[in-house]
Structure 1
Amino acid sequence: MIVVSSATSDTGSAVAEALLDAGQRVRVLGRSRDRLRRFVDRGAEAAEVRTDDPGGLRDAFADARAAFVMIAPGIIPDSSDFPAHQRRVIAAHQKALTGLHHLTRIVSLSGWAANYDAARGPVWGLRPLEEALDTLTGVEVIHLRPGWFMENALPMIEEVRATGAAHGLIPGDLPLPAIATADIGAVAADLLTGRRRAGTRVLELQGPRDITLNEVTAAIGAAVGRPGARYERIDAATMRDGLLAAGFSPHMADGTTAMTLDVAERRIAMTRPRDDETATPTTFEEFLARVTG
């Protein structure tokens, strides 16, 4: 049995789908059984459990030979203390996974922000999650550190469609290691089943090539009938004001802005060159065709 935590998240669902495609016995975990129905319809078992409930998680992981874990939700817009939520989720998973007799392998979803010791905002908990899982004995632990998710461009698609422009805090000419969530799911599934072996405890995932937001915006414009679409950079205060207007608490607006600044100013970055182990296949153009087609 392979257990997938937070299976209704974008990445968790990609892992579950890849495992089911490979014919594996899968148990999917989530806070809503109704939202897990699509996996049950494909033959998965389902367990309704909160990510910060150590007892429920331990029952759900009890007979697992491999497990995929992550911090979820990855963002709570109205939170006034998001690190406290992350600490509860980390502690619950550490307690639930300790001493499980059948468990041989854990794959965690971390991120390239874990490369930066002083990461801020919603990505603060990635390094502590890794460190907590590394305390487990008798189990192989592999941390995936993907780069910039292509799904981050989804709001840009609607903005370009409506206005012919996209806006953001990251410089338009900054190369980003853009990766599709489906590719992360495929890598995680291969590691969980043993079809792939990781050469190191930490595996960066970088997509097929770096891409800038200028290029992203131009590609979106071509796809949605807005030729000449442009990317315009905003400052940190403007980003924060926009998040507040969208319903973010001051705490989450500050943290999300700080996280984005860490990318924009290259404190969050990859630590190794792209190679056969870190590259994944889906190009941004292929991703864009799938989400706009």
Structure 2
Amino acid sequence: MIVVSSATSNTGAAVAEALLAAGAEIRVLGRSRDRLHRFADRGAEAVEVRTDDPGSLRAAFAGAHAAFVMIAPGLIPGSTDFPAHQRRVIDTHRKALSGLGGLERIVSLSGWAANHAGARGPVWGLRPLEEALDTLTGVKSVHLRPGWFMENAVPMIDEVRATGVAHGLIPADLPLPAIATADIGVVAACLLTGRRTAATRTLELHGPRDITLAEITAAIGDAVGRPGARYEQIDAATLRAGLLEAGFSAHMADGVTAMTSDVAERRIAMTRPRAAETATPTTFEQFLANAIHRGHGKS
């Protein structure tokens, strides 16, 4: 049995989908059983859990020989103390998984921000999650550190469609190791089933090639009938003000701005070159075509 926590998140769902496609026996966990029907209808066992309850979470992991773990939700716009939430989730998972009989492998969703010891904002908890899982005895843990999620570009589709311009704090010409969530799911599934092994405890995932936000915006423009679409960089104060206007607490607006600044100023970066082990196949153009086909970016 392989257990997938946070199966209603983008990445958790991608892991569950990849495991089901491979014919694995899985149990999917989530905060709402209703949102797990898509997996239960295909044979998965669905369990509703609370990530702040070690007892119920431990029962949900019982009988597993492999488990996928992540911090979820990864963002709570109205939070006034997001690190406290992350600490609770990390501690709950550590207690739930400690000494769990039969558990052999854990794959965690971390991120390239864990490469930066001073990571701030929503990504602060990634390295502490890794460190907590590494304390478990008798279990082999692999921490996935994917780069910039292609899903981050989805809100840009509406913006470009409406105005022909996209905005952000990251410089237009900064190469980003963009990766599709579906590809992360496939890598995690291969590690969980034992079809793939990792040489080290951390595995960076780069996507097929680096791509800039100028290139991303141009590709979106071509796809939505806005040829010549351009990307304009904004400053940190403008980003923060926009987050506050969107309903973020000051705490979360500060955190997201700090996190994005760390990417923009290259404190968050990959530490290893792209290689066969770290590259994944989905190009941004393929991701974009699929996103538009599924209706993303339609007002």
- TM-score using structure 1 length: 1.00
User: C-alpha separation between the residues in 2 aligned to 1:52 and 1:113?
Assistant: 24
Match for residue 213 of structure 1?
A: 213
Match for residue 24 of structure 1?
A: 24
User: C-alpha separation between the residues in 1 aligned to 2:31 and 2:55?
Assistant: 14
Match for residue 169 of structure 1?
A: 169
Match for residue 158 of structure 1?
A: 158
Match for residue 276 of structure 1?
A: 276
Which residue type is aligned with residue 118 of structure 1? G
Provide, for residues 155-213 of structure 1, a one-character-per-residue CA deviation record: whole Å limited to 9, x for no partner.
Answer: 00110011101000000000000000000000000000000010111000000000000
User: C-alpha separation between the residues in 2 aligned to 1:165 and 1:50?
Assistant: 41
Which residue type is aligned with residue 279 of structure 1? A
User: Residues 67-146 of structure 1: matches in 2 within 5 Å?
Assistant: 67-146=67-146
Which residue type is aligned with residue 49 of structure 2? V
User: C-alpha separation between the residues in 2 aligned to 1:263 and 1:105?
Assistant: 31
Match for residue 14 of structure 2?
A: 14
User: Residues 214-233 of structure 1: matches in 2 within 5 Å?
Assistant: 214-233=214-233
Alignment of 1:43 with 2:43, yes or no, is yes
Q: Compute the RMSD of aligned alpha carbons.
A: 0.4
User: Residues 59-70 of structure 1: matches in 2 within 5 Å?
Assistant: 59-70=59-70
User: C-alpha separation between the residues in 2 aligned to 1:17 and 1:120?
Assistant: 31
Which residue type is aligned with residue 25 of structure 1? E
Alignment of 1:265 with 2:265, yes or no, is yes
Q: Which runs of 5+ in 2 are unaligned?
A: 294-299
Secondary structure of 2:207 counterpart: coil
User: C-alpha separation between the residues in 2 aligned to 1:271 and 1:256?
Assistant: 22
Match for residue 147 of structure 2?
A: 147
Secondary structure of 1:77 counterpart: coil
Match for residue 194 of structure 1?
A: 194
Cα contact 1:6–1:51 (8 A) shared by 2: no
Percent of residue pairs bearing the same amino acid type: 81
Provide, for residues 125-178 of structure 1, a one-character-per-residue CA deviation record: whole Å limited to 9, x for no partner.
Answer: 000000000000001000000000000000001100111010000000000000
Match for residue 296 of structure 2?
A: none
Match for residue 255 of structure 2?
A: 255
- TM-score using structure 2 length: 0.98
User: C-alpha separation between the residues in 2 aligned to 1:188 and 1:27?
Assistant: 15
Provide, for residues 90-122 of structure 1, a one-character-per-residue CA deviation record: whole Å limited to 9, x for no partner.
Answer: 000000000011100000000000000000000
Cα contact 1:11–1:181 (8 A) shared by 2: yes
| Structure 1 moving runs of 4+ over 2 Å | none
Q: CA deviation at 1:63?
A: 0.5
Which residue type is aligned with residue 67 of structure 1? A
Q: CA deviation at 1:56?
A: 1.1
Q: CA deviation at 1:11?
A: 0.0
User: C-alpha separation between the residues in 1 aligned to 2:123 and 2:52?
Assistant: 17
Cα contact 1:31–1:50 (8 A) shared by 2: yes
Q: How many residues align?
A: 293
User: C-alpha separation between the residues in 2 aligned to 1:51 and 1:159?
Assistant: 35
User: C-alpha separation between the residues in 2 aligned to 1:44 and 1:203?
Assistant: 27
Which residue type is aligned with residue 211 of structure 2? I
Secondary structure of 1:58 counterpart: helix
Q: CA deviation at 1:228?
A: 0.4
Alignment of 1:178 with 2:178, yes or no, is yes
Which residue type is aligned with residue 120 of structure 2? R
User: C-alpha separation between the residues in 1 aligned to 2:140 and 2:60?
Assistant: 19
Which residue type is aligned with residue 219 of structure 1? A
Q: CA deviation at 1:52?
A: 2.1
Provide, for residues 53-82 of structure 1, a one-character-per-residue CA deviation record: whole Å limited to 9, x for no partner.
Answer: 211110000100000000000000000000
Q: Which runs of 5+ in 1 are unaligned?
A: none
Which residue type is aligned with residue 109 of structure 2? L
Q: CA deviation at 1:50?
A: 1.5
